[in-house]
Amino acid sequence: MSLRVKREVARGEPFVIEIDGEPIQAYPGETVAAILIVNRIALARTVAAHPITRGYYCGMGVCWECAVRINGRSVVRACMEPAVKGLQVETCLDVGDL
């Protein structure tokens, strides 16, 4: 079951981004966090000081809980990053990965 709204929504042409080495379909206007959520990738990173997983919280760039690595750039907020064709996203689930 898809989490995307499908009826009465005008979308652009889909494109592919890579998340942890896997090709994932995305649409123009989606953020990286939205794509992670739609694909049921609920965890974004772990913290070295506390070996617990972190996920999405505020969805507006304040809390930094959705920090991922994008195209080699560390500490990028997934909720603020627009998806573009060819993007390479790494969730940082290994402790201290960021």
Q: What is the pTM of this model?
A: 0.80
d(CA 56, CA 51) in angstroms, rounded, equals 17
Identify the residue whose tokens are 């990173």: 45
Contact by Cβ (8 Å): 24, 35? yes
Q: Locate 47 and state its tokens.
A: 């913290």
d(CA 19, CA 88) in angstroms, rounded, equals 6
Q: Which pLDDT band holds residue 97 (cuts at 50, 70, 90)?
A: low
What average pLDDT does the segment 1-13 reach? 72
Q: Which residues contact 49 (CB under 8 A, 6 or more apart)?
A: none
What average pLDDT does the segment 13-29 reach? 95
Instruction: Write the burial class of residue 40 (CB in 10 Å: 0-12 exposed, 13-18 middle, 19+ buried).
Output: exposed
Question: Which structural domains are found in the chain, ordered by start?
Answer: 15-90 (3.10.20.440)
